[in-house]
Amino acid sequence: MVQPARATVSWEGDSLNVLKKWPNIVQNALGASLLRLQEGKRPTLVTRTMQSIGRGVFEDTIYVLDSFTKKSRKTEKNDLNRAKARLSQVRQRLQEARTDAKRKSD
């Protein structure tokens, strides 16, 4: 049986470097959840959407916009702003790639 292609993971900004500083147990749990997402399954970690950052589905890629440690129930404004800015950059890169592909096909 042929396995479907896994989604790729794109680490935006310093999100991967920040994650590498976390305890191994946290890294492993996040890695297992990302692998499930890549396979089109639900993550093993408890997750929730953050409508305040934005939403959208882009191709077959999982974009990790930011990694940070929460110190309270509320997400810090600078963490939200950084994630919003990185999402905006991802959208801009995707739009530029579509524009370039269209130019090449014309």
For 57-100, write each residue's pLDDT tens digit.
656 888 888 888 888 888 889 988 999 999 999 989 988 988 88
6 touches 61 (CB < 8 A)? no
Which residue, 24, 39, 27, 104, is CA-closest to 67?
Answer: 27
**Bridging pattern class, strands 8-11 and 61-64:** parallel
What was the pLDDT predicted at 58? 59
Name the residue ranges covered by the structural domains of the chain. 8-105
The per-residue pLDDT for 45 is 84
Which amino acid is present at 7? Answer: A
pLDDT tens sequence across 21-63: 999 999 999 999 999 988 888 888 887 777 777 666 656 888 8
pTM for this entry:
0.73
